[in-house]
Chains A and B, each alone.
Chain A
Amino acid sequence: MKPVQARTALRILPLACLLAASPWPASAAGSMQHQRAKDFRELIVKGERPEIAACLVAAVDYARRSPTYFDVRWDEDASDRAIMQESESQGRLTRRISLLAQMQQRGPVIFSGTWLPVQIRCEQQQDGQVQITVQARAG
C-alpha cells in the first residue's frame, strides 16, 4: 500500500468502525424502526396520535436519563398499535398506555449498544406527570 493510500485508510478507519458498530442496518427485526420527534409539540405537528404523544416523549426522556439505556426507537406502526386505557375512580381519571419499542443499551462506545425489544407502559393520573416503566420482552 502506498503511503497516501495508507493515510487515507487510517482516516476512514474510525468512520468505518463506527458504521460497523452502528445497529441500524443489522439489528432491526421485521419492518425498519425509526426515530421520532422527541418533543410533544413536534410530535403533534408531525401528526402523531395526540393521546399517546406524552407517553412517547416520556419514553425518550426515560432513555436519556436511564443508566441502562441510551436511546429509543419504534416500529413503523407502533403508534397505531399502542393500546390506551382510561379508568375513573371517584371522578378522577387514570390513563394507561402500552406500546412496543426498542431501547438501545448503553455500550462501551457511543452508538455501540444492542437494541433490545421492550414494552413501555405509561401511567398518568389526572393532572399528574406521566410515570413510565420499561420491561424487556422476547424479540
Chain B
Amino acid sequence: MRSVHANFIRRLAKLAAMVLLGVVTLAQAADAGGEVVGAGASFPAPAMQAWARQYAGQSGTRLSYRSVGSSEGIRRVTARSVDFGVTDVPLTQAELANDDLLQFPIIAGAIVPVVNLPGIGDAQLTLSGAVLSDILMGKITRWNAKAITALNPERELPDLPITVVHRSDGSGTTFVFTYYLSRISPEWQDRYGIASRLHWPVGIGAKGNEGIAEAVRDTAGALGYVELAYAATQNLATVRLPNRSGRIVRAGAIGVRTALASANWSRPGFYEVLVDRDGEDSWPIVGISFALIHKMQEDGSDALATLKFLHWIYAHGVDALQGLHYSGLEDARLIEQIESSWTQIRDRNDRVVWKGQP
C-alpha cells in the first residue's frame, strides 16, 4: 500500500515538474521576442519555410508561417492574431479599406493540373482548357474519353474513372484556377465563376495544396491542381496546357517569369491575377501571393520586425528559391513602389514605422 502511495506521489511530482517546465519554456519563448508570425496561403508555404530558415540564420529573428489557406490567412490578419497574412486571393481597394489593410505581392508560381495515371509521366499528358473544365464539371468522366485521347494520340490512356480532387478550404489557388477556367470556358463562367470556395459539381475535397497533392498521389485516376512545388515534392505528373499564343507548354519557371513580365501593378493594392497571358512561353495559370498587414499597428516594433523580414525577401529571397519552382520579385521599380507604400504603416502614437532601409 505504501509503495503504491509513494509511486503516486512520484508520478504527481514528475507531472508537476513537466508542467512547470512547459510553462517556463512558453514564458521564455514569449520573452525571447524576435519572432514574426504569419499565416495564410499554402501556395507559397515551401518558399516561406525556405525563407524562414535562411532569415533566422542571418538575422536571428524567427519566422513562423502557418499554411492554413488564403481565406484563413485573411481571417487571421483581420482578427489581428498574426503579424501578417498571405493571400492568393487579391483584395480590392474597397475590401482593403474596410479593414485598414495594406496589400503587396511577394512571390509568384505556377498552378498546375496534376494526375495519377498508370503509365503517364510528368508533362506527358496534354489537356485543353475546355476539356479541363468539362472534366471538372463532370461532363467527361473517364480517362479514355474521345476528347482526351484526341489531344493525346500518342498515348494509351487507361479505361479509368476520373476522380477530381479539389480544395475543401477557402483557397487562393482555387480562386486563380477558377479564374482561368472562367476565362477559358463560358459555361464554367456562367455556372460557377471565380471562387475561393465553391459548390463543386464533382469530386472529393482536400485541405491545402498539401492535401490535394497527397490525395492525387494516393488515388489512381485522380486529377487535381496544385502549386508546382507540391507536384515536384510528391513526384506527381503535371499536365501540359495550351497558352494564349496557342503553344502547348509545360509548367515551369520560364512560363511563370513570362507571365509575370506582363503584370499590371498599377492598380490599388497591386491587384493582379495572371491567367491566360500573352507570351510564347507563358504558363496560363500563375498565382501571386500577396502579403497583408495592418496600417495601424499597436506595437511599432513588431510591425518593424515584420517589415524587415519582408524587405529581406525582396533583397535576398530570390536566391533562397533555387530549385523550388517559384519566381521571386526582382523588378527594382516595383520593389521600391512596394516599400514606399509601407510608410502608411503607423504605430499607436501615429509614428511612421518604416523609414527606409532597416
Contact = CB atoms under 8 A, between A and B. Distances in A.
B95 A53 contact: yes
B193 A41 contact: no
Contact of B182 (A49, A80, A85, A127): A85
Interface string A112-139: 0000000000001011111000000000
Contacts, number: 85
Interface in B168-218: 170, 175, 179, 182, 189-199
A95 B71 contact: no
A95 B95 CA distance: 13
B74 interface: yes
B74 A50 contact: yes
Contacts of B71: 47, 49-50
A10 to B, nearest CB: 48
B179 A50 contact: no
B2 interface: no
Contacts of B271: 93, 126
Nearest to A126: B267
A81 interface: yes
Interface string B256-285: 000000001011100101000000000000
B267 A93 contact: yes
B194 A124 contact: no
Given A40-B95, A45-B78, A85-B189, A51 B175 contact: yes
A84 B194 CA distance: 5
Interface stretch (B11-19, B86-94, B145-153): B86-94
B99 interface: yes
B75 interface: yes
Contacts of A83: 190-193
B194 A77 contact: no
B79 interface: yes
A45 B75 contact: yes
Give the interface centre of A41, A45, A54 by most chain B CB atoms within 10 Å.
Answer: A45
A127 B268 CA distance: 7
Query: Which range contains the number of B residues in contact with the other chain?
Result: 35 or more
B98 interface: yes
Contacts of B98: 40-41, 54
Contacts of B170: 47, 49-50
Nearest to A79: B197
Given A41-B99, A44-B75, A85-B193, A129 B94 contact: yes
Contacts of B267: 93, 126
Contacts of A80: 195, 197-199
A138 B195 CA distance: 26
A24 to B, nearest CB: 24
A82 B196 CA distance: 11
B195 A54 contact: no
A45 B76 CA distance: 7
Contacts of B264: 91
Contact of A81 (B74, B91, B199): B199
Contacts of B94: 54, 124, 127-130
Interface of A: 40-41, 44-45, 47, 49-51, 53-54, 77, 79-86, 91, 93, 95, 124, 126-130
21 contacts: A44-B78, A44-B99, A49-B170, A49-B197, A50-B70, A50-B170, A51-B195, A51-B196, A82-B193, A83-B191, A84-B193, A84-B194, A85-B189, A86-B179, A86-B182, A86-B273, A91-B266, A124-B92, A127-B92, A127-B268, A130-B94
